[in-house]
Structure 1
Amino acid sequence: MTLPTGRRVPLVIDTDTASDDCFALLLALLDPRADLRAITIAQGNVSFDQQVHNAFLTLEVAGRVGEVPVHLGEREALAGGWIGAEDVHGDGVGGQRRTNDAQADPEHAVDALLRLTREAPGELSIVAIGPLTNLARAVERDAGFAGRVRELIVMGGSLDGVGNITPAAEYNIYADPEAAAAVVGAGFPLLRFITWSPVTLRDAIFDAGRVEQIRALGTGLSDFFVRANQAPFDFDTSHGVGGSTHPDTLSVLAAFDPRIVREERPFALGVVLEGERRGATDFEMADDASAANCTAVTVADGERLFATMLGILAGED
């Protein structure tokens, strides 16, 4: 992958803000390589209003309130309804409350996505770390949208068929599989996936020792992380995972740090819409790149991910 040279990478993050989504936002807000242009919020992990609160709390912790607009998007999946993950995340921030009274931008998230890509065609990287409802609505509204996006990085799916909400399905895809199918078929010039399994479960785990290193930093940022991370850490470890999982942070880092990706391959991807495997992702290795509709990271640098976040939470540039 070739990144723009001599400047920060312009980003939009589409999020269902809770726990690791917050840490991914911190990375984009505080890493000097990233130029976060907007935050768009879609239905997902926790209640929509709680997600909005969590986004503004994260901006506050980062010292960036009023600098990056927050746009509110779709509150239900394309087929209707909402599937939350509050059993994993709690409220997504460990009971922490924001003190700012900042308000969301009145422009709807889908309108913002369309406008931003029209203003800077071929320049923006979008990182989608929640269900893909906002992106699917943008594709539905404007057939040219996908072609104006420099790259779309999606945290979602599973390369080996291991799910985290059903045996076969990963949460972000399962929460709106119709949206995922629409995005996969939209023709984005560069569509990249960071999956739950095996990549997250192998390369994006912060075990108890790593969490203690973060706690020992003793900064406001590290305190925020430890509290917001406690619920998913407890959930993951109680289900046999060796620590808290951080695929959202990995996805954002991949947008501006090519060295985080050790191996990436082309795939033909199909999203299952019916039956017991609804929400599953069928990744088929594509020997011929012309048969692929996406790429997926197959090996990431977990040590680099942790070191980067440790520096961010320590307050280092």
Structure 2
Amino acid sequence: MSTPFILDTDTAQDDCVAILVGLLDPAADLRAITMVAGNVGFAQQVRNAWMTLNVADRLDAVPIFLGAQRPLMREWVSAENVHGDGSGGLSIDDSGLEAQAENAVDAMLRITAEQPGEVSIVAIGPLTNVALAAIRDPEFPKRVKSLYIMGGSNNGRGNITAAAEFNFYVDPEAARTVFEAGFADVVVVPWAPLTLRDAVFTKDRIAQLAGIGTPLARFVERVCRGTLAFDESVGIPGSTHPDSLTAALLLHPELITAEAPYAVDIETSSELTRGYSAMSWGVHGLEPNARVIEAVDGDAFFRYICDLVSQLTQPPRPFTPAL
């Protein structure tokens, strides 16, 4: 039985792989792609999503909805120094490709109202859209089956500041709003230590992916290549894949080898620790509001991605440069 979900994304690099998870895994029933301001320029994020649908030969399969183009209370901060354009320099002719007229927040509210308790959300960018939906309709959190969040670090290092992971840093007020909103099942996939230990693809693994030879594999190799040099410059021995991991864990919880309940809160006041995710592990008298993933089977996750991109597709629009 497939799992219905909405993917809320700021499409660049591994977000593209997460979209492929939603499109190509038989366990997935991807109802919508909702766009939120995050990694790269908003229009480029949309183009990256179209390119991903194209490489999967699924241009008409899943609607794209445009959401918040800035954080709730702050100016947008990009990660273009990390991702470049987020697509490894690829482009397609996107003429005639149009996002839905309905706003992403309205789409979230509508889809979850149509099937309350049945549809999950996988949020792999800043949490602005999810927070706006919860503010607009306080019943919304009760209608979401599960909310899977790629964000924060488990009391560990950040990737945009010493204290903060990018998604929570960009819109800390949204993140705090979401953790206080009363979602029944919140699952957090953190940057550190989880991603840095279990979801890094080394150069050898990226070469193994590319060697599969399908358009999907060549596409994933190209978008990974765009961030590899940056990752290596900061001591990470490969490309990072927390976004696709988050989508995969919704569909395949057997990949999880350790998790625990935590009380999660987000720092919004201090500029020094803006976006820091304080995760209390049960000894401070606080009520847990999330399950935090502590470890996954990284080898099995890599095999899963290899199997995914081994599928043969025929992209209807050619890529420039050619894949």
2-structure distance, mates of 1:271, 1:252: 22
The residue aligned with 1:118 is 113
Q: 2:207 aligns with which of 188, 191, 212?
A: 212
8 Å Cα contact 2:22/2:29 also seen in 1 = yes
Query: CA contact under 8 A between 1:162 and 1:169: conserved in structure 2?
Result: yes
Summarize the alignment of residues 66-77 of structure 1 with structure 2, pairs less than 5 Å apart.
66-77=60-71
Determine the C-alpha separation between the residues in 1 that align with 2:312 and 2:304. 10
Note the alpha carbon deviations across 1:142-187, whole angstroms, 9 max, x for none.
Answer: 0000000000000000003210000000000000000000000000
Aligned partner of residue 279 in structure 1, secondary structure: coil
TM-score with structure 2 setting the length = 0.94
* 2:13 is equivalent to residue 12 of structure 1: no
Q: Specify the SS of the correspondent of 1:127.
A: strand
The alignment partner of 1:312 has SS state of helix
> Which residue of 2 is the match for residue 185 of structure 1?
180
What is the match of residue 282 of structure 1?
278
Contact 1:161 1:282 in 2 (8 A): no
Hey, what's the Cα distance between the residues in 1 that align with 2:243 and 2:36?
A: 15
| Number of the residue aligned with 2:74 | 80
In the alignment, which of 28, 32, 48 is matched to residue 34 of structure 1? 28
State how far apart, in whole Å, the 2-side matches of 1:52 and 1:252 are.
19
Alignment partner, residue 201 of structure 1:
196
The answer for unaligned runs of 5 or more in structure 2 is 314-323
2:160 to 156, 162, 165: 165
| Counterparts of 1:256 and 1:17, CA distance in 2 | 20
Give the aligned partner of residue 301 of structure 1. Answer: 297
Contact kept, 8 Å, 2:156 with 2:193, in 1: the verdict is no
Show the 5 A alignment for 1:209-288. 209-275=204-270, 276-286=272-282
Q: TM-score, normalised by structure 1?
A: 0.96
1:91 maps onto 2:81 in alignment: no
Q: 1:247-286, CA deviations, whole angstroms, 9 ceiling, x for partnerless residues?
A: 0010000111011111110001110012210110000102
| 1:156 maps to 2:132 | no
Counterpart pick for 1:147 among 142, 146, 149:
142
Aligned partners of 2:146, 2:312: CA distance in 1, in Å? 28
Identity rate, percent: 45
Distance 1:284 1:139 in 2: 24
Supply the distance in 2 between the matched residues of 1:218 and 1:231 (Cα, whole angstroms). Answer: 19
CA distance in 2, matches of 1:223, 1:290: 47
Q: Is the aligned partner of 1:314 residue 2:304?
A: no
Larger mean Cα displacement after TM superposition, 143-152 or 225-234 = 225-234
Counterpart-to-counterpart distance in 1, 2:89 and 2:286 = 48
Q: 1:76 deviation in Å?
A: 0.4
Instruction: Tell me what 1:3 maps to.
Output: none
What residue in structure 1 maps to residue 170 of structure 2?
A: 175
Deviation at 1:25, TM superposition (A): 0.5
Aligned pairs, number:
311
1:24: which partner in 2? 18
Contact persistence 2:36–2:68 (CA under 8 A): yes
TM-aligned CA deviation for residue 290 of structure 1? 7.9
TM-superposed CA distance for 1:316, in Å, is 7.1
Q: Partners in 2 of 1:52 and 1:165 — Cα distance?
A: 23
**1:45 is matched by which residue type in structure 2?**
N
2:48 to 45, 49, 54: 54
Take 1:316 and 1:91, find their aligned partners in 2: how far apart are those partners? Answer: 26
Quote how far apart the aligned CAs of 1:13 are.
Answer: 0.3
CA-based RMSD:
1.4
CA distance in 2 between counterparts of 1:148 and 1:167 reads: 36
